[in-house]
Amino acid sequence: METKENKLKVYKFQQKGWIQTEQLLNDDIAIVVDQTQNRIYFWSGKKSKPQAIEMAKKNLLIKKIQYSNYQYRNNQAEFPSPIMEEITKSLK
């Protein structure tokens, strides 16, 4: 989902790669691309399997190349409020 005010895009990981989405589940793995701050945030749901998380991290290289000038963040405890709000809003 991309919003005009903060230019956030949410992608979830599936076996075939990253797809843009507006909806996440607690077993999903996702990245939030913040185009205003030039950052990529890696998020894994509470029910995500460790094997799926590792596979997603390996496939993250594609997005890191696409957004090569962006900083990468994966410590969810340090995500800014707008990022967590976007994730929470996307959860179903």
CATH number at residue 36: 3.40.20.10
**Total structural domains within the chain:** 1
Pairing, β 39-44 against β 71-73: parallel
Judge whether 29 lies within some domain: yes
Is position 1 within any domain?
Answer: no
Q: pLDDT at residue 1 above 60?
A: no
Confidence of residue 26 (pLDDT cuts 50, 70, 90): very high
Whether 23 maps to a domain, the answer reads yes
pLDDT over threshold 70, residue 3: no
The residue segments making up the domain with residue 32 are 8-90
Average pLDDT on 73-79 reads 91
The pTM of this model reads: 0.86
Would you say residue 68 lies in a domain? yes
Residue 35 lies in a domain: yes
Asked if the structure places residue 3 within a domain, the reply is no
